[in-house]
Amino acid sequence: MNLSDLTFDREGLAAAIACEDAAFEEALLDEAYRVKVATVGPEVYLRGLIEISNRCVKNCLYCGIRRDIRCQRYELSEEEVLASARIAAQRRFGSVVIQGGERTDAAFVGKITRLLKAIKAIDTGDDPPLGVTLSLGEQPREVYQEWFDAGAHRYLLRIESSNPDLYRKIHPADPLHSYDRRLQALYDLKEIGYQAGTGAMIGMPFQTADDMARDLLFYKEFDAPMVGMGPYNPHPESPLTLSGAPYPSAERRFALGLKMIALLRLLMPDINIAAATALEVLDPRGREKGILAGANVFMPNITPEEQMVKYNLYDRKTILRDCPASAEPGRQDTHICKNCVFPFCSMGDDLAGKRIIVGYGKWGDSKHFRK
């Protein structure tokens, strides 16, 4: 397949996704990078990722922190979350993401509301107050509204798969795991005024090239201002892994992860696209390569290291092993993984001679949303 043959209808996208020709894939990634720089510029925005808790009421079949998996559970205290957010402010990341398992109890909802107000009050010097993205699953509309009023302005809720049949195969068959409910939650977020981001896993069991093409068209139809999608990585004890259902090799899932970023950049040139952590598990420079394939958002993990190791949505040993607590001798804020930020800063001339500029101290809302 040649780049000039690429069309953006479902068949054309599926053909591009299925094509494993290395020359085509390379040309596609280069073109996406070119379009990104021409449309949203070379800047990459940072979001300090705070993984607040691995307690979850849901039981998604692919996930390593699902309710029924036995693992050590944790929940960051309000002070721990604020300490991480202060580090994001000191390092001029501009924004934080608070992500965690889904909980809808009043204690949790109230805690997030208090945290939002406290994070917005953190001193950021000459920069705007920290931007906050939440990624805490499906919530009643009133809760989304309460958190919006308290200062959250972006929310990431992946649709996981835009094909309702595939969605059903990777979730338990009960009302807590309903495709329609998830879709409704996305529309609630949008109506309230959030920048509602979505995404899907890439390279899952049962997933076809056509399913992935549908995901891309779903983002377009939903008019998503930001998308965070990433390769599926098996968790050794998840029901989906234990079922023995086949899925693409690690190499293929990585290539698909980059290709989906590139195709989405061409389909929706002015949105924010995140280089997901799941890429890093498959390649030590996975997220940087995601940036070079058209992504423009990078999320350094600033969860305290002792807890970070318990947030195992999937097997993260490869990244955690490279995450020494002592990033720089003598620093107090040592739980920032040096591998999360530093290779990034030095990659300027290093990867294919492409320049990356970090948008320090900025919210980096998508151009698409601002329009």
Q: Is 156 helix (H, G, I), strand (E, B) or coil?
A: strand
Nearer to ligand SAH, 36 or 153 (CB): 153
72 φ, ψ (degrees, to nearest 5) = -75, 120
Shortest distance, position 89 Cβ to ligand SF4, whole Å: 27
Distance in angstroms (rounded) separating the CA atoms of residues 336 and 221 = 37
Residue 240 binds ligand SF4, judged by CB under 6 A? no
The answer to whether 169 contacts ligand SF4 (rule: CB under 6 A) is no
Which single residue is written with the structure tokens 């979850």?
A: 56
Structure-token match 């309000």, residue found:
78
Question: Under the criterion CB under 6 A, does residue 170 sit at the interface with ligand SAH?
Answer: no
- State yes or no: residue 102 binds ligand SF4 (CB under 6 A): yes
Q: Does residue 283 contact residue 54 with C-beta atoms inside 8 Å?
A: no
C-beta separation of 40 from 270 below 8 A: yes
Give the residue, chosen from 14, 46, 49, 65, that forms a contact with ligand SF4 under the rule CB under 6 A: 65
Among residues 60, 88, 166, 341, the one that binds ligand SF4 under rule CB under 6 A: 60
- Residue 275 contact, options ligand SAH, ligand SF4, none, Cβ 5-8 Å cut-off depending on partner type: none
- Return the residues of window 294-333 that contact ligand SAH according to CB under 6 A: 313-314
- Would you count residue 207 as binding ligand SAH (CB under 6 A)? no
227: left (phi over 0), alpha (psi -120 to 50) or beta: beta
Residue 100 DSSP code: E
Which of 36, 47, 66, 154 binds ligand SF4 (CB under 6 A)? It is 66
CA distance 255 to 100: 27
How does DSSP classify residue 132?
E
Q: Between 152 and 278, name the residue whose CB sits nearer to ligand SAH.
A: 278
Q: Which of 221, 218, 245, 244 is nearest to 229 (CA)?
A: 218
Angle separating helix axes 209-222 and 10-18, nearest 10 degrees:
130
What gap in Å lies between CA 91 and CA 69, rounded to an integer? 36
Q: By CB under 6 A, name the one of 54, 84, 95, 99 that touches ligand SAH.
A: 99
When the beta carbons of 39 and 59 are compared against ligand SF4, the nearer one is 59
Which of ligand SF4, ligand SAH, none does residue 66 bind to, with CB < 5 to 8 Å depending on kind? ligand SF4
Question: Contact region for ligand SF4 (CB under 6 A) — 37-45, 57-65, 186-194, 259-267?
Answer: 57-65
- Site size for ligand SAH (CB under 6 A): 18
58 lies in the site for ligand SF4, by CB under 6 A: yes
The residue from 48, 94, 101, 231 that contacts ligand SF4 (CB under 6 A) is: 101
Tokens of 292: 């070079």
Cα torsion for 212, 301, 56, 120, to the nearest 10°? -110
Please say which residue, 33 or 74, places its beta carbon nearer to ligand SAH. 74
Can you state the angle between helices 179-192 and 141-149, rounded to 10 degrees? 30
CA atoms within 13 A on the CB side of 32: 28
Which of positions 13-52 make contact with ligand SAH (CB under 6 A)? none
Contact string (CB under 6 A) for ligand SF4, positions 17-56, x = contact: ---------------------------------------x
63 contacts ligand SF4 (rule: CB under 6 A):
yes
Judged by CB under 6 A, the stretch of 59-67, 198-206, 269-277, 353-361 that binds ligand SF4 is 59-67
The separation between CA 108 and the C-alpha centre of its own chain, rounded to angstroms, equals 22
| CA separation for the pair 209, 3 (Å, rounded) | 17
- Binding residues (CB under 6 A) for ligand SAH: these are 56, 62-63, 99, 101-102, 135, 137, 157-158, 160, 201, 232-233, 235, 278, 313-314
- Binding residues (CB under 6 A) for ligand SF4: these are 56, 58, 60, 63, 65-66, 101-102, 137, 313
